[in-house]
Chains A and B, each alone.
Chain A
Amino acid sequence: MPHTDSDIRRMLDKIGVDTIDDLYADVPQEVIFREDYDIPSAMSEIELRKHFEALGEKNRRLTVFGGCGVYDHYSPSAVAHLLGRSEFYTAYTPYQPEISQGTLTYIFEYQSIISELTGMEATNASMYDGATAAAEAMFMMVASAKKKNRVVLSATLLDQVIRVVRTYGKFHGVEVTVVPEKDGVSDFEAIMAEVEKGDVAGVIVPVPNKYGIIEDYTGWAEAIHGAKGYMAMYADPSALAVLRTPAEWGADVACGDGQTLGMPMSFGGPYLGFISCGKGMLRKMPGRVVGATKDADGKRAFVLTLQAREQHIRREKATSNICSNQSLMALYATIYVSLMGKSGMVEVNRLSCDGAHYLYDRLIESGKFEAAFPGKPFLKEFVVKTELDVEALNARLLEHGIMGGVNLGDGRVEFAVTEKRTKEEIDRLVALLTA
């Protein structure tokens, strides 16, 4: 705070009061806070660094083999450097387009990139995270389907996604039915039995699913649409560089979490949620959208558009209250994908996939692990079963600086491998697991 005593005096004189306290004369005296806050004394930068170093010492940086929605992908150095440009991070929402073309342009690029990955025509400027994006996808389907107030989720969606969708559904008055899995994949018959009851606005299924399995949705969209329902897919956007896209599966909405686009794991955030749809549902899509247009001189420029749609949030028809986006994380995703490019995005998946299959093969070969879902195709994540004590195994791995697979209970453990893991690290993991 830059104020000197003489500045304050001059300003008070201009205002016509004696003291700063006089500016609070209208506040009932009984609510004036007269104590000191119970927080530490002011720290210099040197002390602050030491404080955070000490806190950081209490954390363990591990070689990560865990996934379940968050993956240790590599991010090229240039991403963080460009994100550090304060013209980007100290800006507000681009309400004044004439001085926000930087933000508006990268959001347009972000929308283009996510649309390429999902195959869908429209993408919004981003949401909070994947789970809340899935909840918004639920509301989109309910708003689009007339007088249907139930949404069906496959139990093979990530647990955190199901938890958040259930919470949003409970409060907003949308019934959420979670249909149990069958052999690790979504149960088509059981889901269709629900949809055919006629009160279901839509279905949400994962690509790939929470066990890493790439499910086969052949015939799903036709069947769901035939029963006048919508289909939403919760997808890993990085994996969509190689996997069949939500658009190719015939989905109406795609959503998911952008963390896999190189974002640091950051103990759970910030990441971003994305949501894409076809043109038909565009006006039901929540959040901000950037469109191309021209300025008074005919120059190409970008602007927040379809804002009247956002204005609906003010009214009693509100199905979303989101009025911001994870803009800087959208920039993160945009720069990451630009650097990795067309071939790099495929290459990341290939390396992760080859590494995951290598680990899988080694674990099965050891005789101490067996496939949890034999024959099911996977990309970078899979589940194995073991008679060994998973808790004890993971505790031992932690001592060696490794985050092992996520313990799913019942002897099931889920491993993820990214391009950051080396063959040597995997060999070491296997040695520790099978010792």
Chain B
Amino acid sequence: MSKILENLRYADSHEWVSLEDGIATVGITDYAQHALGNIVYVDMPEVGDEVTAGEEFGAVESVKAASDLISPVSGEVLEINEELEDSPELLNEDAFANWIMKVKVSDASEIDNLLDAAAYSKICEE
């Protein structure tokens, strides 16, 4: 059973978001890292890139599979987690503690379209 944190919002494509002062922190869920297996590479956007809710902003690769990362929010990338460049396995160790990017959101209401922990956990059970 994978871990789901109560205080976050989720996309059905298995990304999590926390929003604070108009800045969204985005990562992948414990369920996603578990499904992928040993993660060997994270393809991240560049600082300054514009991302759009529902569109791809990067990819996560494990030994056998590659999976697109879908942005749950729209806005400008402020920061990326550079630690993941050399240590992508951090996502396997703790997917919630190791975020992927921080975005200055252009429309904070987008987050309302996302799932809460209860709704997301239902998706994972299916």
Residues B49-70 near A (CB distance < 8 A) = 59, 61-66, 68
Binds B, one of A303-311, A328-336, A353-361: A303-311
A308 touches B43 (CB 8 A): no
Expressed in whole angstroms, the Cα–Cα distance for A315 and B67 within the complex equals 10
Expressed in whole angstroms, the Cα–Cα distance for A407 and B125 within the complex equals 70
Is the contact region of chain B dominated by helix, strand, or loop, or is it mixed? strand
* Chain B 20-50 per-residue mask, 1 if CB under 8 angstroms from chain A, else 0: 0000000000000000000011010000000
Q: How far is the CB of A312 from chain B (nearest CB, A)?
A: 5
Expressed in whole angstroms, the Cα–Cα distance for A383 and B65 within the complex equals 51
Expressed in whole angstroms, the Cα–Cα distance for A193 and B99 within the complex equals 42
Is A400 part of the binding interface, using a Cβ–Cβ cutoff of 8 Å? no
Expressed in whole angstroms, the Cα–Cα distance for A308 and B68 within the complex equals 11
Is A283 part of the binding interface, using a Cβ–Cβ cutoff of 8 Å? yes
Is the contact region of chain A dominated by helix, strand, or loop, or is it mixed? helix
Q: What's the interface size class on B, roughly? A: 10 to 19
Expressed in whole angstroms, the Cα–Cα distance for A151 and B41 within the complex equals 28
- Number of residues from A at the complex interface, CB < 8 A: 8
B43 touches A283 (CB 8 A): yes
Expressed in whole angstroms, the Cα–Cα distance for A311 and B41 within the complex equals 14
Expressed in whole angstroms, the Cα–Cα distance for A315 and B41 within the complex equals 18
B62: chain A residues at CB < 8 Å are 308
B65: chain A residues at CB < 8 Å are 308, 311
Q: Looking at B43, B61, B64, B66, which has the most chain A CB atoms within 10 Å of its CB?
A: B66
B41: chain A residues at CB < 8 Å are 283, 308
Q: How far is the CB of B10 from chain A (nearest CB, A)?
A: 23
Expressed in whole angstroms, the Cα–Cα distance for A307 and B59 within the complex equals 14
> Which B residues are closer than 8 A to A by beta carbons?
40-41, 43, 59, 61-66, 68
A-B CB contact pairs (8 Å), 13 listed: A283-B41, A283-B43, A307-B64, A308-B40, A308-B41, A308-B63, A308-B64, A308-B65, A309-B66, A311-B65, A311-B66, A312-B66, A315-B68
Q: Using A308-B65, A315-B68 as known contacts, list a sample of 9 further A-B pairs with CB atoms less than 8 Å apart, ordered by residue number in A.
A: A283-B43, A283-B61, A307-B63, A308-B40, A308-B41, A309-B61, A311-B66, A312-B66, A317-B68
